[in-house]
Amino acid sequence: MKRRHFLLAAATTGIAPAAHSQSPSGPRIVYLSGRSAATDSHLLEAFREGFKSTGYVDGQNVTMDIRWADGRYGDVAKMAAEVVATKPDLIVAVGGNPVGLAAKQATSTIPVVFGAGADPVKIGLVDNLNRPNGNLTGMTLWANELDAKRLDLLHDMLPKARTVAVLMNPDNPGYEDLLPRTRETAAALGLEIKLLTAASSSAIERAFQSLPAGSVDALAVGADAFLINSRARIVALTNERRLPTMFPAREFAIDGGLASYGTRWTDMYRILGSYAGRILKGAKPAELPVQRPTTYELVLNLKTARTLGLDLPPLILTRADEVVE
């Protein structure tokens, strides 16, 4: 039986960026994220939990060097090269597909544990999911496959909607494949799609400015590292415009977005932590299959629904895995 969790909406407290630990001996790893401490500190903590499950504690028997790109994906290749120059025992490359790809480009010898949102085989991270070759392994959210499902759920949530805007990052490696799939899903649902694209903060602002009031019935936000890093602004813009929106991750709904559908990222980051620990203990990356999520969750924010004047269908409320009151 599916569990439903009812949460009280509350202001979240930020966690300060991790400091460089001081460990006199033991291995040293670099945690390189394309996003920021402001958006992803909880994922770093989940990684630490998984790492600890294998016996490694930062500052005690291992040194963790934490580096954030803060959404500046143009700097990721340079940052990865700088990391490799320090000769760590292992690199964790997370927070967007470009980070894993940059780490792969920078080293063929240092073990890399990556987090990816696209198909790792298709974008060139590994040759095989079950037995990755070379020095990389990790997990994939395979987020691009879920965008059609999010559109389907948005239609169920707003059955009278006829025109839906879709916000995507044209620089995402999966964009060219995702767009036709999204159009195909929309056509099957009888929806007209208005495409919005954004690969920068200013482009996000322009995308929303391009939508006259009442021109679309709802919005679906694509799964993309840059858009995820910009979630605070995107949530604010959707609510300011009273635009019902389906988001790619529960963090959006917890932060005030109407709804989200995706996997629980913290679970996947715990797996990355355990993989890092196993590799430090002697496992080879090629021996560790690339992990994929096995469960996905629908999160609804009823406080936001009331603010938007929405009366969500009972079926959607029943299907929700988590409800923010």
The model's pLDDT over 233-262, given as tens digits with 9 standing for 90+, comes to: 999 999 999 999 999 999 999 999 999 999
| Residue 3 maps to a domain | no
The whole-number average pLDDT for the span 89-93 is 98
CA distance 59 to 64: 8
Helices (H) and strands (E) in the chain, counts: 12, 13
Domain match, 23 and 42 both: yes
Res 207 pLDDT > 80: yes
Q: Is residue 2 part of a domain?
A: no
Examine the pLDDT at 145 and tell me if it is beyond 80: no
Supply the pLDDT for residue 175. Answer: 84
Query: What percentage of the chain carries pLDDT values higher than 70?
Result: 92
230 and 177, same structural domain? yes
Are 55 and 127 part of one and the same domain? Answer: yes
Question: Which residue would you say has higher pLDDT here, 32 or 182?
Answer: 32
- Residues 68, 105, single domain; the answer is yes
121 & 270 share domain: yes
Q: Is it the case that residue 16 has pLDDT exceeding 50?
A: no
Q: Is 110 contained in some domain?
A: yes
160 belongs to a structural domain: yes
Q: How high is the mean pLDDT of the chain? A: 90
Q: How many CA atoms lie within 13 A of 229 on its CB side?
A: 22
**Of 63, 27, 35, 34, which is closest to residue 48 (Cα–Cα)?**
63
Same domain, 134 and 148: no
Q: Are residues 30 and 137 in the same domain?
A: yes
Instruction: Assess if residue 247 is contained within a domain.
Output: yes
pLDDT score, position 220: 96
Secondary structure (DSSP) of 45-105:
HHHHHHHHTTT--BTTTBEEEEEE-TT-GGGHHHHHHHHHHT--SEEEEESSHHHHHHHHH
For residue 171, name the pLDDT band (cuts at 50, 70, 90): confident
Between 156 and 5, name the one with better pLDDT.
Answer: 156
User: Could you report the per-residue pLDDT of 218-235, keeping only the tens digit for each?
Assistant: 999 998 888 998 999 999
Residue 1 in domain: no
Q: Is the pLDDT of residue 153 over 50?
A: yes
| pLDDT > 90? residue 5 | no
Give me the domain span that covers residue 280: 8-141+264-287
Is residue 60 over pLDDT 60?
A: yes
Same domain for 112 and 166? no
| Whether residues 164 and 271 fall in one domain | no
Same domain for 88 and 155?
Answer: no
Q: Looking at the 3D structure of the chain, how many domains does it have? A: 2
Residue 292 lies in a domain: no
Is 80 a member of any domain? yes
Whether 318 has a pLDDT exceeding 80, the answer reads: yes
Q: What's the CATH code of the domain at 63?
A: 3.40.50.2300
pLDDT surpasses 80 at 24 = no
pLDDT at 21: 44
**Cβ neighbours, 10 Å, residue 77:** 16
Angle at 252 between CA 314 and CA 40, to 5 degrees: 145
pLDDT at 98 over 70: yes
Same domain, 175 and 83: no
Mean pLDDT of 35-58: 96
Q: Are residues 94 and 237 in the same domain?
A: no
Residue 12 has pLDDT above 80, yes or no: no
Residue scoring higher pLDDT (68 or 175): 68
Query: How many Å apart are CA 287 and CA 300, to the nearest integer?
Result: 39
3-state secondary structure of 139: strand
Enter the tokens of residue 27: 């291995």
